Structure 1
């Protein structure tokens, strides 16, 4: 069964990877042939110059990103004829900034600043009491400027001098213009079309990653026979990685569907917090030492406490999530570094921990490059996502390899079970002792001339008895007591042929409404016959009885044979303790039953099997 399911796992992997490849290829082709004819996304919509924080004026280069860090950046120049007249419409997507577009004489064309937000906020208190937009939080905003409004209503032409002012209101200015403002020029529904052609392929890709992480690794772990915390943790990490990357691609579009800029901001930031928390828990799942795991729990708890605290401060209008970004970035960096140190402690003698640490090197390198880029302005590109993708792919390959190893171990375990089964066959065959078979066959042979009909009946009974022993090899679940009783009757019928009048059998069956392991009573009855009445000169009686109590069912095997001393050394009392111990273990493991044996020398032996009612079929459970 596991082999079939394991094969299906790899089939699912191949199907998912194929879907990812097809999706990417199709959308790359669509973009190549269609997208550039519908919209453009220039670095800046003005042709002219710009100044950062009151510094010198620099020329605007349309083919080069603007990577300067700023608190206030001012652009002045003319809108190109192509953007103004050919495309017609212009959309500005902004993150965490206020901005104003005006003419050279001060006429405001479009404004999004603190005063405007404050008026909107005060209006929302009466009109939308549950709104989350805050007066001092720019959030994420999308605003469209239509050509008819610019050219006809305001009289803007390609010769008009325009000024575009952008202000980053937070204390630490480690952001660039390209990180905060994005422009799209288009004919009609430009931002929706840009989302469809630019963002949607990646979104679909990472939606598959989310499902892949959420279902594949936990399900694969379950199929292999256990729920492994490491696979669960990585499944959630993959899910939140996909969610985080989806948000990276759609954050600039959120205000198209969510009217509150603050909610757009919160969705983006909270997704990042969840991803970091998933990384921390995944690190912890790869730790084996009790002290390191306890420390990892504390570190994860502290980070989550910080995340909850800054979220509450946002809701209470005390401090927004962007203003808390530095605190959370430091908390995330410190937490991950502590996790790395904890894993470093486990590296000694733990090759898995070493490989795990090495698999995160690509991400650490790209983070270092991005941090360096903040100070020397290499390209303005963000390499973090590339390093994260490489690291996650390495993790997926590593865990799939681990699953493959466990799958092979499961197959090996099945082989061992098969070998164990074959060993059980040998044990079972050995339990049908040769002298018992010889005696039974001898008795049947003697009857063939004396009483052929009885001999025929005895032969059929003996065959049924042997078949019952063989069938028990394939029977792992308990059976009704009636089945076990029929087998006992066949066994005792054959034994009575041997002992004749020296063996008497009596039955006192008061209840049969219970189950027990197949052939679990025969060893007790065999002991009563062979070591009880069989050792007594004038024979005796074996009684098989059942009864029901308030909490259990009882099977009682009693003989009036020679008895024995329970306190005597086991090796000297002449009884088969190996078979008895096996019987006790089977009864306990399958039904929670126990066996009580009492004996008095010269009076006989009583063996009592007590099966709790809890777990019996009539108690709505499976024994």
Structure 2
């Protein structure tokens, strides 16, 4: 009210002065319109230029002293986002990651000591009491196992509740929160104090929730990696025995009549399997995959002779790009096995690869002029956009479904999410076309 009264008095004074200056002391007196305009201008200027005493006074009344603990909590809350971006536990619940996390969290959580455990032992401990709360040892307090057993936050306010096994332990109070992956409790985050005032519970629980989220993401990453590795191993296994037996039969048939050619085929076969088995990681340069494909084709041409022709149309820019390992050869093998092998006169397989620098994609196209694919099988394998669907559609007719197409689709999904396209079609001219578009690497 004090600020409003001052402002009202100022406005009244302005109008009194305007009236006296324009109507009493002026000779002749100013007309009414200029007088009103002058008064309004001065009033607006006073209101806009006058510091709001009302807001200032009420704002001061709402302020109260801020304790050092509240300052620490506020600082910790502001640091949560930064901590989330750099949290070492994103790599999983390991001793090294746990220790770096404790070192990062200790100044944020207003605790004298911070610990992270799994279900059985201390993974990391930073702060007073580190002489007996040792990393890799069993949990020394009874509160941490109780947190795991109950799956609920434990707030401890004295030494008896903390239950440290070592007499004279400096720690008195604590907030211990379970770490979860889904519904499973996999460990704890504990913040300890060497005084009776407990750490800020809400802040510790919020941080534990963030750590749990990071641990869930780490587990999903591991599961995704395992699934991708399994699919790659399955694809290696799908370099199937039939292909090996057929090539060995071809080599055996040439061993007597053409021993030099048989020896050369054996060398190529060893190179083929060495690359397939020993290639590490999930990506390789296109040039390596291209050489692998040509090795495979040379083995198949030894078996099919003039019935199999292969044409290559490779953009030189593609050679240095990185593509998923063992991704191109199965597409070519699919064309040979299910397109050309079933055609008495044989046929031609085309391998085309292009880079689109604007869209930042690599496109690989494998086509053949073989027997093609029955419309009903194609309809089962592809949806309205021509993209591959579920496993059951591909496996219903293995004689036409091709080698590892579903496996390839699942691997691509693991590696690229929805940032790839894999389509299969049968042109009117005959044969089958498989086209793959992946992000440029």
TM-score w.r.t. structure 1 length?
0.36
TM-score (norm 2): 0.49
Task: Point out the structure with the larger helix share.
Answer: 1
